[in-house]
Amino acid sequence: MYRRNIKQVLEFIGENPDREGLQATPDRVLRAYQNELFVGYKQKPEDLLTTFDAEGCDQIIISRGIEFFSMCEHHMLPFFGKAHVAYIPGDRVIGISKLARLVDIYARRLQIQERIGEQVTEALMRYLKPKGAACILEATHMCMKMRGVQKHDATMITSSVKGVFFTDEKARAELMSLIKV
C-alpha cells in the first residue's frame, strides 16, 4: 500500500514511476523514512538516558555543535543545523554522547525547530533531574530557501532553557558565553 502511495506521488509530479531510474524509488523512500529520516518515532528518551552518580559535580556540562537534521512538518522539507545542549547536574550525570542521541530522537520526526528544543530540555529535566537544562538550536530551513520567501542566507535560532538557566541570569550568561552562538 505505501509503495503504491509513493508511486502516486511520482505520477502527481509528472513522472513515470515505471521508468528504469524510478522503479526502485518507492522502496528506497520507504526504507529511508523507516530506518533513517523518521526513526525517532521508534525511540524513547527513557530507554536512552542511563544515569551515573554525579559525585558532587556542579559545573555546566555542554555538548556544543551537535549536527542534526529534521523534516519540517508543514512542508515535509528538510531543515538542519547545530544544537548546543547543556545541563547542570543534580545528583546524576549521563554520558556526553547521550545528549547528541537525545537531539536525534526528537529531530528524526516531522517537527518544528521550537518543539525539538522543548522536548530535549523537558526530557533532561524529567529523567535526569538536573538543576537546569538548555537546548539552543541554529538551523537552515529548506522551506525558506526552496519555496516561499526564498531567503537563502536566513537561519533560525531557538532556545529552550529550564531550571537555573531560566531563573538565574548569571547561569544563563555563563552558558551563553560558553556556547558563543
Q: Is 93 within 8 Å of 57 (Cβ atoms)?
A: yes
pLDDT tens digits for 19-48?
999 999 999 999 999 999 999 999 999 999
Whole-angstrom Cα distance, residue 22 to residue 2? Answer: 15
Q: Is 123 within 8 Å of 45 (Cβ atoms)?
A: yes
Per-residue pLDDT at 35? 94
Q: Is 140 within 8 Å of 81 (Cβ atoms)?
A: yes
Torsion 114-44-99-129 (CA) sign: positive
Residue 77 Cα distances to 23, 70, 107, 144, 158, angstroms: 23, 8, 13, 10, 19
Burial of 180 (0-12, 13-18, 19+ CB in 10 A): exposed
Taking 70 as the pLDDT cut, the residues of the chain under it are: 181
Name residue, grid cell 509513493: 6
Name residue, grid cell 551563553: 176
Residue 129 Cα distances to 14, 50, 51, angstroms: 52, 12, 10
pTM summary value: 0.93
Q: What cell numbers appear for 79 in the block? A: 531543515
Per-residue pLDDT at 181? 55
Q: Is 147 within 8 Å of 92 (Cβ atoms)?
A: no
